[in-house]
């Protein structure tokens, strides 16, 4: 199972540069359009073009990345609670939190140096690397979560699923341009870096899965085919849901961040399907496993790598922004290759002492 989790981690970390590269792709289409199209063209001339559809599809498929990281983290916390009465203490999780916070602080400073800017709010600091503060909160809550996940796991998951879907539902309504009482307050107190915010289900799910591994392992092996069908079906539904919501939103484009409800079943089924498949049936397993082992370093370094590459392309070769496939490939390669090269350089030079501070 550990090998399959590493494979899932490797698949997930590939999706992070996909999300960031497509985000810059959308910005090149609509924010920087004047640099790569005639001045008579409007900034939304690329809307519903072939690259636009490609980016939407990639972003919807990539939605499993952070949920998978949270699931895997919850699973590994369950290892600390081995034995019938085993539990997790703060003393056990604090070293993991320290391992996350030091790279988080360093790369956040690097990000602001590159932007030549200062923090404007707590959200401005925490949101770009939101997975780190989110995971730290779940680690701190683990001593409370483990007993519930062990003894009342169905009620435990149901509670988190209801919170998860409720918060997403409120944001869904907002994305469709519908106002409701207390809307601004609810959105402000449920940022994606809060444990009860937009993705509260996946860490508890991983925790329950790990604590009840035998039962879940047998179940996913029996239903492997159904999990594959669910994964494919709801991936297609998630893509279709985006365009349906965009149509319902009226003339104004719904934007790149909408991902809908269908993604939840897609993510759920896809995570379990990957864990159910034999390693020999997955191509490039060693590559995915290696990427999975380096996932934290890639996660931290890919944001500045893609940002620097995007700025250089904008200033030196702006015509590339008009060739969206090439632009995406370059940014994706920078998001994966840049961190891997940097990690190799640090590990194999006199700077090796700083590797764990930079990359965990």
Q: pLDDT digit string (tens) for 37-62?
A: 443 344 566 788 899 999 999 999 99
Q: State the pLDDT at residue 84.
A: 57
Q: State the pLDDT at residue 40.
A: 39
User: How is 147-159 classified by DSSP, letter by letter?
Assistant: HHHHHSHHHHHHH
Q: State the pLDDT at residue 358.
A: 93
- Section 336-340 average pLDDT: 97
Q: pLDDT digit string (tens) for 281-292?
A: 788 888 999 999
User: What domain range includes position 328?
Assistant: 2-359
Three-class secondary structure of residue 179 per DSSP: coil
Q: State the pLDDT at residue 44.
A: 65
Q: State the pLDDT at residue 85.
A: 60
Q: State the pLDDT at residue 39.
A: 38
Helix then strand count (H, E) for the chain reads: 16, 0
Q: State the pLDDT at residue 96.
A: 93
Q: Could you tell me the pTM of the whole model? A: 0.92
Three-class secondary structure of residue 38 per DSSP: coil
Quote the number of domains for the chain: 1
Taking 60 as the threshold, does the pLDDT of residue 34 lie above it?
Answer: no
How large a percentage of the chain has pLDDT more than 70? 95
Integer Cα distance of 15 and 266 in angstroms: 15
Which secondary-structure segment (H or E) carries 331? helix 324-347
**Residue with the larger pLDDT of the pair 176 and 112:** 112
Integer Cα distance of 136 and 193 in angstroms: 10
Average pLDDT, the chain: 91
């Amino acid at each position: 199972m550990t090998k399959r989790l590493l494979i899932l981690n490797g698949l997930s970390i590939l999706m992070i540069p996909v999300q960031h590269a497509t985000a810059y792709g959308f910005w090149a289409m609509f924010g920087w359009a004047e640099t790569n199209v005639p001045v008579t063209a409007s900034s939304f001339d690329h809307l519903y073009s072939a690259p636009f559809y490609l980016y939407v599809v990639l972003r919807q498929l990539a939605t499993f990345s952070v949920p998978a990281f949270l699931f895997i983290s919850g699973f590994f916390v369950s290892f600390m609670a081995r034995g019938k009465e085993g539990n997790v203490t703060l003393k056990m999780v604090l070293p993991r939190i320290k391992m996350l916070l030091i790279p988080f602080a360093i790369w956040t400073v690097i990000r602001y140096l590159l932007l030549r800017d200062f923090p404007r709010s707590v959200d401005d600091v925490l949101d770009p690397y939101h997975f780190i503060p989110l995971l730290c909160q779940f680690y701190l809550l683990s001593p409370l979560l483990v007993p519930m996940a062990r003894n009342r796991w169905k009620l435990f998951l149901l509670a988190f699923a209801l919170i998860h879907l409720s918060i997403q539902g409120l944001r869904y309504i907002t994305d469709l341009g519908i106002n409701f009482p207390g809307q601004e307050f609810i959105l402000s107190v449920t940022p994606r870096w809060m444990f009860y915010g937009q993705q509260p289900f996946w860490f508890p799910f991983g925790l329950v899965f790990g604590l009840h591994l035998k039962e879940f392992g047998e179940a996913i092996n029996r239903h492997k085919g159904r999990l594959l069908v669910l994964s494919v079906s709801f991936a297609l539904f998630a893509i279709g849901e985006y365009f349906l919501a965009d149509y319902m939103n009226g003339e104004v484009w719904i934007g790149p961040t909408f991902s809908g409800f269908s993604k939840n079943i897609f993510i759920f089924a896809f995570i379990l399907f990957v864990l159910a498949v034999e390693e020999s049936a997955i191509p490039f397993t060693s590559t995915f496993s290696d990427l999975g082992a380096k996932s934290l370093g890639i996660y931290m370094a890919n944001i500045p790598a893609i940002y620097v590459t995007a700025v250089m392309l904008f200033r030196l070769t702006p015509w590339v922004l008009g060739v969206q496939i090439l632009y995406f490939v370059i940014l994706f390669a920078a998001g994966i290759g840049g961190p891997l090269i940097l990690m190799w350089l640090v590990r194999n030079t006199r700077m090796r002492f700083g590797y764990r501070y930079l990359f965990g």
